[in-house]
Chains A and B, each alone.
Chain A
Amino acid sequence: MTAPLLDAHLVADRGAFHLDVRLRIAAGETVALLGPNGAGKTTALRALAGLHPLSAGHLTLGGVDLDRPGRRVWTPPERRPVGVVFQDYLLFPHLSARDNVAFGPRRRGADRRTARARADGWLDRVGLAGQARHKPRQLSGGQAQRVALARALAVEPTLLLLDEPLAALDARTRLDTRAELQRHLGAHPGATLLVTHDPLDALVLADRLVIVEHGRVVQEGDAATVTARPRTDYVARLVGLNLHRGHADGHAVTVGGLTLTTADTVHGDAFVAFPPAAVALHRGRPDGSPRNVWPATVTGVQRHGDNLRVQLAGPVDVAADVTPAAAAQLGLRPGQPVWAAVKAAETRAYPA
């Protein structure tokens, strides 16, 4: 494998918060930096853009050190080949859409005519040729997002950074814009980093996910691996799985006083994961078939899509999805004792 286009070890401090994240992105690759609020996603993005200095580590883009405190190397943001789409776009309110997009090329040496021609080209590509003369306040949310994307791409950045690019849009616009964004990111020859807390954005737009919590990478890999084998509660919740950590011995995983039988074979510390839909609820103890069965207490019931999601307390706390009909039959309400059952074939165990 050739050297990645972006090779970064971002160590930065912001007050008491400490960030320590390694990132490698190949040319043409899109990586999603996913994490809960306050995980350090935005600090990482600002460090890459040069808006927040590294306290240690390094940032190498296309073989050139942009920031390496150890050797006193520092490149100010205006001299980095980096384009940023900010969360609320930050389009200059006093400039038209065209002049917003032309701003970058103009600052990087193009004369006015060339810069405007290039801006028109980019506006055309994002389907906004007709809005070139509009001021940002005359644009809809989706249009403003596309102008912001065109503005960032117009400087032909080696590294494109997107900070929650779809967060400010309503659900309907988000769907269209996401599809269009996917097309543009696919055409971008440089490296792309997408910062988001929306797993759907990450799964649709990115080739690879990097998950950060408390300023550290907790898991990374392609979408299939991350969704099938979550390693933290945050990731498990994100992909909608029950996740428990325990000790495995072959097909048996001991989790908090309960031994679950799984289809996979693992030894030592292990995770066991299963979807809420795999948890069946019964009034009495079910018999027959080699199942994982345990007594539990209902702690809460919420709507979840067409089904109901039932929170259970017991030897392990899990979520179960049941149909409204089944819930009516069971008469589910908080405090009620039930029996929970999970088939071994529906659980997945993997080393911790």
Chain B
Amino acid sequence: MTRPARRRQRVPLALLLPAGLGLLFLVLPLAGLLVRAPWTTLPRRLAQPGVLTALRLSLETATAATLLCVALGVPLAWLLARVEFPGRRLVRALVTVPLVLPPVVGGVALLLVFGRRGLLGSWLDTTFGVSLPFTTAGVVLAEAFVAMPFLVIAVEGALRGADPRYEEAAATLGAGRWTTFTRVTLPLVAPGVAAGAVLCWARALGEFGATITFAGNYPGRTQTMPLAVYLALETDVQAAIVLSLILLTVSVAILAGLRDRWVGTA
């Protein structure tokens, strides 16, 4: 490697060694995917109808879940960051529960609430004839459940970092709380919202456990890419590698594109 000469800092070996191992640990599996990919049969495998269906379903549900998270998560983050209310610490802890909960447990919990005989599900079914489990909407719900904490945490952090005196200035100019929120607060934390949405989308795209538990594994309806990868692994390892490669390429491409546009300015 040739690089312009610069002042070399001495890096202690005790830090350099684990850092290098860590990097290797993260990169090696990705390299493995590339090495073992069936490059010769790749075009034919890509053209198989099931692949594109699963990819489109993954992108659509991840995007819908992200929109749902933004619509509900940004106000929730605002509440946590700006309003003093009793039990705020408890609420903040509750918001992060899906982060530590195994996704499969999350899926079971969703079934108990939104399932056909669940707490809300039975009411939804009898009143509106709506049943969420094992539908595409159920996939969105499962992904949103797991991904929302990422958005709330990112936006709450951005709100705490934003100077609340801008909101006071807006108030002295005649803006009520809602106008202040839409005209001042939201534009100020826009980079944080964007960063949170990107994290949220990436988490939703990779969601597996809650989705398969709550929404099942029906091709074209609830079978997203991670589910397709897992299923393919049982029967055809080559196909699983191809699907993994596609998921990897698409998510890295989209994240890199968004990063340059928004997250870099955060």
If A103-B175, A108-B174 touch, does A77 touch B184 (CB 8 Å cutoff)?
Answer: no
B82 is an interface residue with CB less than 8 A from chain A? no
Contact B172 A83 (CB under 8 A): yes
B88 within 8 A of A: no
Decide yes or no: A94 and B172 within 8 Å by CB, A86-B165, A107-B179 being known contacts.
Answer: no
Complex formed: what's the CA distance from A77 to B174 in Å?
7
Chain A positions within 8 Å of B175 at CB level: 78, 103, 107
C-alpha spacing A290/B72, complex, angstroms: 84
A273 within 8 A of B: no
B252 to chain A, nearest CB (A): 30
Interface 1/0 per residue, B190-228 and A, CB below 8 Å: 100000000000000000000000000000000000000
Residue A93 CB within 8 A of the other chain: yes
Query: Complex formed: what's the CA distance from A155 to B171 in Å?
Result: 12
Contact: B172 with A49, CB < 8 Å? yes
Chain A residues, Cβ within 8 Å of B174: 78-79, 104, 107-108, 155
Known: A92-B184, A94-B188. A84 touches B176 (CB 8 A): no
Interface assignment of B117: CB less than 8 Å from any CB of chain A: no
What residues on A are CB-neighbors of B163 within 8 Å?
A: 90
A51 at the interface (CB under 8 A from B): yes
| Chain B: minimal CB distance from A292 (Å) | 52
B166: interface (CB < 8 Å):
yes
Q: B148-176 CB contact bits vs A (8 Å, 1 = yes)?
A: 00000000000000010110111111111
- Count of A-B contacts judged by CB separation below 8 Å: 57
**With A51-B168, A103-B183 known to touch, is A78 a contact of B176 (CB < 8 Å)?**
yes
Contact B188 A86 (CB under 8 A): no
Which residues of chain B have C-beta atoms less than 8 A from A78's C-beta?
171-176
Within 8 A of B (CB), among A70-94: 76-80, 82-84, 86, 90, 92-94
A90 & B166 in contact (Cβ 8 Å cutoff):
yes
**Which chain A residue lies CB-closest to B163?**
A90
Are A84 and B187 in contact, CB atoms less than 8 angstroms apart? no
A51 engages B171 (CB within 8 Å): yes
When distances are taken between beta carbons in the complex, the residues of chain B under 8 Å from A118 are none
Question: Bound complex: CA of A77 vs CA of B176, how far in Å?
Answer: 9
Nearest Cβ distance between residue B14 and chain A, in whole angstroms? 43
What interface size band does chain A fall in? 20 to 34
Flag if B173 contacts A93 (CB, 8 Å): no
Tell me the minimal C-beta distance from B180 to chain A in angstroms. Answer: 8
Interface size on B, residues (CB 8 A): 18
Q: CB distance B173 to A155 under 8 Å?
A: yes
B187 and chain A: residue at smallest CB distance: A94
Known: A90-B165, A92-B184, A94-B188. A103 touches B171 (CB 8 A): no
Name the interface residues of B90-136: CB closer than 8 Å to any CB of A: none
The answer to whether A245 has its CB under 8 Å from any CB of chain B is: no
Q: Is the CB of A84 within 8 A of B188?
A: no
Q: Output the least CB separation between A92 and chain B (Å).
A: 6
- Residues from 195 to 250 in A contacting B, C-beta threshold 8 Å: none
Residues of A close to B176: CB separation below 8 A = 78
Complex Cα spacing A86 to B164, Å: 13
Is A151 an interface position by the 8 A CB rule?
Answer: yes
Are A51 and B187 neighbours in the complex by a CB distance under 8 Å?
A: no
User: Which of B168, B179, B183, B188 contacts A93, CB < 8 Å?
Assistant: B188
Contact A104 B188 (CB under 8 A): no
B179, closest chain A residue (CB) = A107
Chain A residues near B172: list those with CB within 8 A: 49-51, 77-78, 80, 82-84, 152
Closest to A94 in B: B187
CB-nearest residue of chain B to A49? B172
Contact A103 B173 (CB under 8 A): yes
Residues A84-119 near B (CB distance < 8 A): 84, 86, 90, 92-94, 103-104, 107-108
Residue of B nearest to A77 (CB): B171
CB distance from A102 to the nearest CB of B (A): 10
Residues on A with beta carbons closer than 8 Å to the beta carbon of B168: 49, 51, 77, 90
CB-CB under 8 A from A76, the residues of chain B are 171
Contact status B171-A90, CB under 8 Å: no
Instruction: Report the bound CA distance from A82 to B168 in whole Å.
Output: 13
Expressed in whole angstroms, the minimum distance between the Cβ of A244 and any Cβ of chain B is: 42
- By the criterion CB–CB under 8 Å, are B179 and A84 in contact? no
Within 8 Å CB of A84, what residues of B?
Answer: 169, 172
Chain A stretch 42-81: residues in CB contact (< 8 A) with chain B? 49-51, 76-80
Given A51-B168, A77-B168, A92-B166 in contact, is the A107-B188 Cβ separation under 8 Å? Answer: no
New A-B contacts (11) at CB < 8 Å, excluding given A78-B172, A78-B174: A50-B172, A84-B172, A86-B165, A90-B163, A90-B169, A92-B166, A94-B187, A94-B188, A104-B174, A107-B173, A108-B174
**Which residues does B use to contact A, with CB under 8 Å?**
163, 165-166, 168-176, 179, 183-184, 187-188, 190
Q: What are 20 A-B contacts with C-beta separation under 8 Å? A: A49-B168, A49-B172, A50-B172, A51-B168, A51-B171, A76-B171, A78-B175, A78-B176, A86-B165, A86-B169, A90-B169, A94-B188, A94-B190, A103-B173, A103-B175, A104-B173, A104-B174, A107-B170, A107-B173, A107-B174
